[in-house]
Each structure stands twice: as structure tokens, then as C-alpha cells.
Structure 1
């Protein structure tokens, strides 16, 4: 077992030093994920009102329910580490709310693209950070970010809409470009505002991490993954 896996997150107040900085970064990641799950639930519930049929509404309700389950698991893990989920989420209210305020979908299809493209970029960012946390925390991150079948649903619905009306593709492609710009700005802002997260990525807490050039390559990977998602939807990135 490596040092990170053995150390885990611990409980109670953190002391000064590299272990404290690492713990703060890992707890930030869990708080970020928890608020992301909470806002995803709220957004999916709202988007379901625009669903064209009952089957689509049910699918979004299932997706929203999964976010509630994810939130519960993250809240429990934070509680095990002596951290209240409300306090852990508080630093991320402003960037998350700002992102969603600037990317409110105007219709059902824009909501689907946002759920796939916007959330996909965020999930990729969380996985990049999770590469540098202890094994238990990393496993939880990957579990709550795992696809539960909604990708096929979203891709199928969007492709079907484009086949029915090719002009829809151009509008959704522009929407996807806007989403990637806003999402990357959000990720950069979070990384810049939260020193503990940045220290995980840059390896400045005496743990293996990324140098600044590697951070730049990480953002390039986020863009590449976005391009693949857009292609899956049948859209130009």
C-alpha cells in the first residue's frame, strides 16, 4: 500500500505541514463533487419540465435521483473525516452558480447537451485531480462519476433531433462551444482560488504531482475529450 493509501484523509482538525495541505486538497475535491452533485440534481429536475414526453421526463428523474445518491455518499465520506458537507461545499457556491447562470439552456436539447458536454468536462477535471489523492478517495470519485447509462440516452436523443432537422446541429454546436469555454473558465477559477487543489495538481505538498507544464497539458486533454463528446453527438466542436 502506498503512502497516500495508508494515510487516507484521517479525522479531526488537521495540523500544519504537507499532510495537512494534502488533506485540505482531498477534502476540497470531495466538497466540490458534493456541490456538483447537488446542483446537477437541481438542474436535471428543472430540465425535466422541458421534456417532450413522459419517457424522457422519467429518464431525467432517474438521472437526478442518481445525483442525490452520489451526494449522500460524498456527505458520508466527509462526515467520516470530521467535516460537515455544508462547510465543504461553501467555497464552491460562487463558481458553480456563476457557471449555471451563464449557461441556462433555452430548451430540452440544450439541456441534454449541457448534461453531457458541460458535466463531462467537469468530470474529467475531477478525475485529473483524483489521480493524486489516496486510493479510497480516488475510488469514490470514480464511482460517483461513472456513467449510469445516461450517455447513450443523451447521444441518442440529440442525434435523432439532428436527423429530423439538420439545422438543429448548427445551433447545438455553437452551444457546445459556449459550454466548453465557460466550463474551462470555471475549472481554472476553482484551481486558482483553491490553493489546496492546486497543490495536489502541482505536487507542492511533497507528493507526486504535475508541474505547471503538465497542468497545461491537462487542460489540453480536457479539450480533446470535449471534442470526442461533440463528435459522439454528431456536432462540430
Structure 2
């Protein structure tokens, strides 16, 4: 389990709930404010995650041979960078230094990026699509805990991520070579455990007791359900 250092403890009323969204089905609200991280942790992690997506996608541009695919990857990278900068601007508006808030999470989130970086470009594209999708959903669920600041972060995260082009590249590769299907399905299943560990580590307690586990279960159930739908949309088994 990753150990997360907690930053300044600002008093903010926190209520963690699953947001209403079409692909998650019925709305379920889960109130466990004692588990939600402080607002500095929330903002620092959210900002650094978006920077990580940008970094990973940017690294894929040079080795990608097709010009149209280079453009698609660059657009998705640009969307992540836009969200990163928007969260940084919000942090600065609050009078904080974004580097101070992000620095505690650099090491664990960089380790997460390395562990989910595939040996092949298609695996890494799938990593970004799956991990960013799950963690964006999780941070959207967290966002309702932080009042107006949380609503602004939610608006940022709901912005266009331009990752559908990555899905198109993946599905085209599967259509051209059926062997990709089983390989990417296996890779997609591998990503889930590492991604859920990152989500769990974002919660205030480093370990959860049985009662706390029951409180968070609906959120993680929704994350897994959305993951399954993302995989199915690409013709992959979750």
C-alpha cells in the first residue's frame, strides 16, 4: 500500500458521494465525510494526475508512425494539460503554491505511472484510457465534498478529455489483428488493481476497518461497473 503524506489540515465540510451520470445508472449517495482527504490533498493529487496523463501521452507521440495517430494522441495530451493548468489556476486563486500541494504525490503517482506503462504503445494508450477514466470518476465523486471549490474541479474534470481517438486507435488495431484482443483484455484487467489502490490511498485513513469498507463499497462498485463498460465498448472483456 502506498503511504501518502497528509498536508495542512484545513477544516472543510466533506461529504463523499457518487455523482449522477448516465453510464453509472441509478444515483447512489454515500456519506462518509471522515474518510475524505483534506482539500489540499484532493487538489494536489487531482492536479498531478492530469499532469501524469499529459506526460504519458506525450511520450507516445514520437514512436507513433502514423501522422493521423500522432495528431490524435497530441489532442488527448493537450486536453489533459488543459485540465492540469485549470486546477493549478484554482489552487493559485486559493492563495496556495501548486508545487507545494503536488510535491507529496510526485513519487507515488510516478511509481503508479511506471507500473501501468505498457511494453507496447497500444497497452500504454489503454492504460491512460482506463486509469484516467476510473480516477477521473473517483475524483468527481470526491469533488462534492469541497463546496464551491469541489464544484469547480468537477467542471474541469467533466471537460472533454479527447480520449475517444485513443479508443479508435485501439479498436482499429484489434480489427486488423485479432491477437491484440486477448493481449489488451489481459492488460486491462491488470490495470484495475493498481488503479483501485491509488483511489483507496487518496482516502484519509491509510487502512479501512470493516465499517469503513462498507461505506466505500458502493463507490468502488460504480468504478468497476464503468470500467467494465469501457472495456466492453472496445470489444474487450473486463
| TM-score with structure 1 setting the length | 0.78
Query: Shift of the alpha carbon at 1:216?
Result: 1.4
Is the partner of 1:76 in helix, strand or coil? helix
Pairing 1:79–2:80 present: no
> In structure 2, do the counterparts of structure 1 residues 215 and 166 end up closer, same or farther at CA, with 3 Å as the change threshold?
same
Query: Shift of the alpha carbon at 1:160?
Result: 1.4
Pairing 1:106–2:119 present: yes
| Counterpart-to-counterpart distance in 1, 2:194 and 2:37 | 26
Tell me which residue corresponds to 2:186.
174
Greater shift after overlay, 185-194 or 43-52?
Answer: 185-194
Provide Cα deviations, 1:42-75, integer angstroms capped at 9, x if missing partner: 1111011232311111221222222222222111
| Counterpart-to-counterpart distance in 2, 1:115 and 1:18 | 31
| Counterpart-to-counterpart distance in 1, 2:99 and 2:213 | 31
Pairing 1:97–2:98 present: no
Pairing 1:54–2:67 present: yes
| Counterpart-to-counterpart distance in 2, 1:54 and 1:16 | 48
Structure 2's unaligned 5+ residue stretches are 1-7, 15-32
Is the partner of 2:202 in helix, strand or coil? helix
Note if contact 2:143-2:153 (Cα within 8 Å) is conserved in structure 1.
no
Provide Cα deviations, 1:188-210, integer angstroms capped at 9, x if missing partner: 12325679xx9xxxxxxxxxxx9
Tell me which residue corresponds to 1:11.
none
> In structure 2, do the counterparts of structure 1 residues 59 and 32 end up closer, same or farther at CA, with 3 Å as the change threshold?
same
Is the partner of 2:129 in helix, strand or coil? helix
- Between Structure 1 and Structure 2, whose CA radius of gyration is higher? 1
| Counterpart-to-counterpart distance in 1, 2:206 and 2:138 | 14
Q: Kindly report the root-mean-square deviation, in angstroms, between the aligned alpha carbons of the 2 structures.
A: 2.8
> In structure 2, do the counterparts of structure 1 residues 136 and 167 end up closer, same or farther at CA, with 3 Å as the change threshold?
same
Structure 1's unaligned 5+ residue stretches are 1-13, 199-209
| Counterpart-to-counterpart distance in 1, 2:141 and 2:77 | 24
Query: Shift of the alpha carbon at 1:222?
Result: 0.9
